[in-house]
Amino acid sequence: MILWCIFALMTAAAIFAVMWPLGRHAQKTGGGSDIVVYKDQLQEIDRDRSAGLIGEAEAEAARLEVSRRLLAAAETQPPPAASPVATQRNLQRRRAAAVAVLVILPFGAPGLYVALGSPNIAGEPALARADTAPGHESIDKLVGQVEAHLARNPDDGAGWEVLAPVYMRLGRFDDAVEARKKALVLNGDSAAREADLGEAEAAAANGVVTANAKAAFERAVARDPHESKARYFLGLAAEQDGNSEEAAAIWRALLADGPAGAPWTGFVREALARATNTPVVAPGPSANDVAAAANMSQEQSNEMVGRMVAGLADRLRENGADLEGWLRLVRAYAVLGDRDKARSAAADAKRALADHPEEIKRIDDLVKGLGLEG
């Protein structure tokens, strides 16, 4: 008897839970204001990236996160107000649904469960039934969700703006070009969007700055003479056209005008060295870097040193002919107490300098001097 009382109470609670929404008026959500905020955040990310405050990878990750929130907010926008006739029809339908709930739920559910259910089988935990935990979906699944949203809302400029860099990361360059074009049309022309379009056009052409890409970069520079991405690619276009002097002049001006510590200075220096046929010279810390380091904690200082050493290692992987760079890298790892990385760097240096026995001897002498043998 007690068990049936419990079932009756559960049934009553279920009926109340189903009928409660049927008796309420639709409530408006605050999705509209959220959308404005997220679109402002996307613009802020573009401004930070253009100013060199964050790298391209960080900008793409931030755009993807904001896009998820933007799409969620878009789904919660309130529908347009219904007409009086439609409202009356909705009321009638709600009353019919309420009657159906009162009749079907208490009497139909038990019979349906007996006919189709499996009361003798133990329940399975939700964790075991979940294919993928929320927040761990594959990038393809997330892209598919955004694409589905844009198929339903092709005029969502913010969505195209978010999707384009993801296409670039996935190597879907033709799709990235189309997304960049739609973002330009829907969100308005800007130097950053023109530069992004030109970058996608060049990527789709296997790194060649085509006429369309060059035109986009020229429009970007016309709008903002300090647009770093467009200026770099215009230099690349000049180099590909065989005009190394013009390319070198563009890249020198870009390095002179760029903010200190900009993430793109490394490959611009390499491009300049290639155009002028001179070895790459790794820059030392500026006066501002030294002053900033003096005010850092030990942890912050170590982090800064680690970034500089990692940057040197990345550069040497691209250009292994720099003996002085290898010597600095081995010493840096030894000073940081990472002897394994110091030995590994020495081995990498000897492979890169295999055709220069005198330079290999200097690497060996340094290894001996630092006690890294064995």
Q: Which two tokens stand for residue 6?
A: 């419990």
Q: Which two tokens stand for residue 134?
A: 């929320």
**C-alpha distances in angstroms, 156 versus 41, 55, 142, 200, 219?**
15, 25, 17, 20, 24
**C-alpha distances in angstroms, 77 versus 26, 36, 74, 193?**
12, 12, 6, 27
Region of poorest pLDDT, from 120-134, 261-275, 334-348, 349-363:
120-134
- Report the chain's mean pLDDT, rounded to a whole number: 75
Report whether pLDDT(132) > 50.
Answer: no
Q: pLDDT tens digits for 297-324? A: 556 555 666 777 787 888 888 777 878 8
Q: Count H helices and E strands in the chain, helices first.
A: 18, 0
- Rounded CA-CA distance 175/163 in Å is 9
279 torsion bin: left (phi>0), alpha (psi -120 to 50), beta (else): beta
Q: What does the CA dihedral 208, 212, 217, 218 come to, rounded to 10 degrees? A: 130
For residue 297, what pLDDT is reported?
A: 57
**Mean per-residue pLDDT, 83-88:** 58
Q: pLDDT tens digits for 250-260? A: 999 998 887 76
Q: What's the pLDDT band for 267 if we cut at 50, 70, 90?
A: confident
Q: pLDDT tens digits for 319-344? A: 778 788 888 888 888 777 788 888 88
Residues 6+ apart with CB under 8 A from 219: 189, 194
For residue 130, what pLDDT is reported?
A: 42
Which H or E run includes 355?
none
Q: Are 162 and 42 in contact (CB under 8 A)?
A: yes
For residue 209, what pLDDT is reported?
A: 93
Report whether pLDDT(17) > 70.
Answer: no
Residues 6+ apart with CB under 8 A from 318: 270
Q: Which CATH architecture has domain 295-369?
A: Alpha Horseshoe (1.25)
Percentage with pLDDT > 90 across the chain: 26
What is the DSSP-derived secondary structure letter of residue 20? Answer: H
Top-confidence residue, 354 or 301? 354
Q: pLDDT tens digits for 210-256? A: 999 999 999 999 999 999 999 999 999 999 999 999 999 999 999 88
Report whether pLDDT(129) > 70.
Answer: no
DSSP string, 91-109: HHHHHHHHHHHHHHHHHHH
User: At which residue do the structure tokens 């978010």 appear?
Assistant: 162
Q: pLDDT tens digits for 96-113? A: 666 565 556 566 656 655
Residues 6+ apart with CB under 8 A from 99: none
Q: What's the pLDDT band for 202 if we cut at 50, 70, 90?
A: very high
Q: What's the pLDDT band for 365 if we cut at 50, 70, 90?
A: confident
For residue 320, what pLDDT is reported?
A: 79
The identity of residue 265, as a single letter, is T
Q: pLDDT tens digits for 277-294? A: 765 544 544 445 544 544
